[in-house]
Amino acid sequence: MGSRANAIVAQSGGPTTVINSSACGVIQEAMKSGKIGRVIGATNGILGVLKEDLFDISAESAESIEALRRTPAAAIGSCRYKLKSIEESKADFERVLDVFKAHEIRYFFYAGGNDSMDTADKVNKLAADAGYELVCMGIPKTVDNDLAFTDHCPGYPSVAKYVATCAAEAGKDTEALYTTDTCTILEVMGRNAGWIAAATGLAAVTPEDAPHLVYMPEAAFSFDKLVRDVEEVVRRLGRVFIVAGEGLKDENGDYITADSGAFGKDSFGHAQLGGVAEMLKAVIEKEVRIKARFNKLGTNQRAAMHFASLTDVNEAYMCGQTAVRAALEGVNGKMVTLVRAEGAKYECATGLAGLKDVANGEKKVPAEYINEAGNHVTDAMRDYVRPLVQGEAPVTIGPNGVPVFMRFERKPLAKKLPAHL
């Protein structure tokens, strides 16, 4: 490819604490390679490509690019716009190629989950069919940690560290005030996967420590069992601290929350989750007759840069960097994976997996990480997640005493095509 070949970087889906660190890895590696012209940002992911809403990341200051490592969420901009099959979304897919051609884009670096890997794979195939030379590389990103072929996903370690810390801290609050506020429920994200909920097991070192009960979507949930579990813990400790995944399901695999369907589905076709904490609170107050309260960290759990895992920040960067190196070495159509070395000492290298394989896979919390009662994790789970949360990542504290984050200047690229969308 010629030296004029440009690269595009896009971010997709729910933000994470470290997706910008991956972007930083892509951008810095691409800029220093000498083999890539401009590094272009697609404002709000694939939407930015479709709308030809692009900006010149190469023109941003080096300080701003470096500060991506310490900035949560998705600084280039994300979206939940989903491209379906090539037949169903034909106009969109062709538009992507048109925009790539118009801006001489030969490298497409896409950070996201299954759906994004699917999109990257389809764009790649379409380009090949059209004889347009294009390299599509995926970078894993999801707090849910549900991508197959990778030991874990960048973004997960930081949310794991944060929610475990929140469980430890709010657990001390419940321990202090159990005479009135006997039960606390911490609702966490993770959709159909219980990885985030399971990580809070790191806080439970002794039986007294929170969380006392951890409910994950992988273990069939029943309110009868909840009531028995809660009564047992309260009898023993006088209090109970519960962690509940947002996507708990009953033995039929149906979401337990009445409002799972109420707000319809999100743009990716996923059911909108929420309300688990409220429902558990109501049942516990009614059936166990103790006061219950809930904490719902919401988007704060996936944006908690102020207590991110340094391991995560560094691995996320490495994934971005590796995507560029691999692309320049001729690799195409792959997502970078994280490969954990065998043995007691934690070491992590990168690997590669086919975009289509990742798109079709899903990784749930395995049975051996969940206790027999289905209400807590095993030590095997703790062994899995412990190395991931090590180290504290730096943030820049501003004059107001709170962290400050970067924001791109966004020098827009002139549009070359008629409008689409």
- C-beta of residue 50 within 8 angstroms of C-beta of residue 96: yes
> What Rg do the C-alpha atoms of the chain give, in angstroms?
22
Beta strands 334-340 and 348-354 are: antiparallel
Q: Looking at 96-104, 148-156, 188-196, 385-393, which segment touches a copy of itself (CB under 8 A)?
A: 385-393
Residues 3-62 that bind a copy of itself (CB under 8 A): 11, 14-15, 44, 47
Residue 97 or 188: the one with the smaller Cβ distance to a copy of itself is: 188
* Closest CA relative to residue 156, chosen from 344, 410, 363: 363
Contact with a copy of itself (CB under 8 A): which of 179, 344, 345, 414? Answer: 179
Q: How far is the CB of 86 from a copy of itself (least distance, A)?
A: 23
Contact with a copy of itself (CB under 8 A): which of 4, 32, 90, 172? Answer: 172
Residues 291-330 that bind a copy of itself (CB under 8 A): 293-300, 302-307, 309
Q: How far is the CB of 390 from a copy of itself (least distance, A)?
A: 5
Residues 343-382 that bind a copy of itself (CB under 8 A): 382
Residue 108 or 162: the one with the smaller Cβ distance to a copy of itself is: 162
Q: How far is the CB of 39 from a copy of itself (least distance, A)?
A: 19
Query: Which string of x and - marks every residue 198-237 that binds a copy of itself (by CB under 8 A)?
Result: ----xx-x--x-----------------------------
Contact with a copy of itself (CB under 8 A): which of 166, 243, 352, 359? Answer: 166
Residues 60-79 that bind a copy of itself (CB under 8 A): 71-75, 77-79
Residue 48 phi/psi, 5-degree rounding, is -65, -35
Contact with a copy of itself (CB under 8 A): which of 39, 65, 127, 164? Answer: 164
Taking the C-alpha atoms of 223, 227, 228 and 232 in order, what is their torsion angle to the nearest 10 degrees? 150
- C-beta of residue 150 within 8 angstroms of C-beta of residue 353: yes
85 binds a copy of itself (CB under 8 A): no
Q: How far is the CB of 329 from a copy of itself (least distance, A)?
A: 31
Q: Which of 118, 121, 144, 229 is catalytic?
A: 144
Cα–Cα distances (Å) from 409 to 65, 103, 294, in that order, read 11, 20, 39
How many residues make up the chain in this entry? 421
CB atoms inside a 10 Å sphere around CB 153: 27
Locus of tokens 């691999």: 326
CA distance 386 to 104: 44
The string of DSSP codes covering 349-378 is EEEEEEHHHHHH---PPPGGGB-TTSSSB-
H/E element holding 7? strand 6-11
Triad 54, 55, 61: Cα angle to 5°: 160
Residue 8 or 189: the one with the smaller Cβ distance to a copy of itself is: 189
Contact with a copy of itself (CB under 8 A): which of 397, 412, 416, 417? Answer: 397
Residue 366 or 394: the one with the smaller Cβ distance to a copy of itself is: 394
Is 379 considered catalytic here?
Answer: no
Reduce the DSSP state of residue 171 to 3 states and report it.
Answer: helix
Q: How would you class 152 by CB atoms within 10 Å of its CB: exposed for 0-12, middle for 13-18, buried for 19 or more? A: buried
What are the start-end ranges of the E strands in 101-167?
105-112, 135-140
Q: Looking at 24-32, 109-117, 160-168, 351-359, which segment touches a copy of itself (CB under 8 A)?
A: 160-168
Residues 118-157 that bind a copy of itself (CB under 8 A): none
392 binds a copy of itself (CB under 8 A): yes
Catalytic site positions? 144
